[in-house]
Structure 1
Amino acid sequence: MKSERQKLVEKHRQLNQTDNVKVMSHVQREEKDSDWIRHTIMLEGIDVPFIYRRKQQYQSLKGARVNVTYYRHVEDVAGIEFETMKVVRIKRS
């Protein structure tokens, strides 16, 4: 039987999956003009931030091992491209 993660990745080919990776940094900030909390994590061996939003703050994931389902996102700011990873699903390993 296929897991939820496998079904997501098969249905949306642009999705990527990384398993059992260590969280090096986890920052939580309130978004301006919104009641959402923006979570930014940095993963071991990857130099691109992973970003997701939630309605409330969570326990810090720093040092934890996680499984992450995400897709690549590129923003153009003042003519410069910034790459981030937009998290669809994150779960402790």
Structure 2
Amino acid sequence: MKTDVDKMLEKHEQLTHSEGMKVVSHTQREEGDWVLQTLMIEGCSAPFKYKRTKRFRSLEGQKVNLTYYPSTQTVAGFDVEVMNVVRVKRF
């Protein structure tokens, strides 16, 4: 039987699923009606970003499973690699 993650990965080729990733930093900031969540993962230099409608408990120090796809974002005239998170699940 296929899980929801398996179905998403089959449907969208660019998605990546990683398990047991340790969160070293978790910031939350208001952006209009949304709260932008940014995770920094141990051993990875790219930020993992996603939006939610409200603030959540900090994930700093937690292990998480992430489903995401790579993207680029222009910051101060420079292209920066970011990971857009589709699904985050705590252990």
TM-score (norm 1): 0.93
Q: Gaps (5+ residues) in structure 2?
A: none
Q: Distance in 1 between matches of 2:75 and 2:22?
A: 29
> What percentage of aligned pairs have identical amino acids?
48
Structure 1: any 5+ residue segments left out of the alignment?
none
1:1-93 matches, cutoff 5 A: 1-31=1-31, 34-77=32-75, 79-93=77-91
Change beyond 3 A, Cα 1:28–1:79: closer
Q: Secondary structure at the match of 1:7?
A: helix
Distance 2:23 2:86 in 1: 16
Amino acid at match of 2:86: V
How far did 1:78 drift?
Answer: 5.3
Aligned length: 91
TM (norm. structure 2) is 0.94
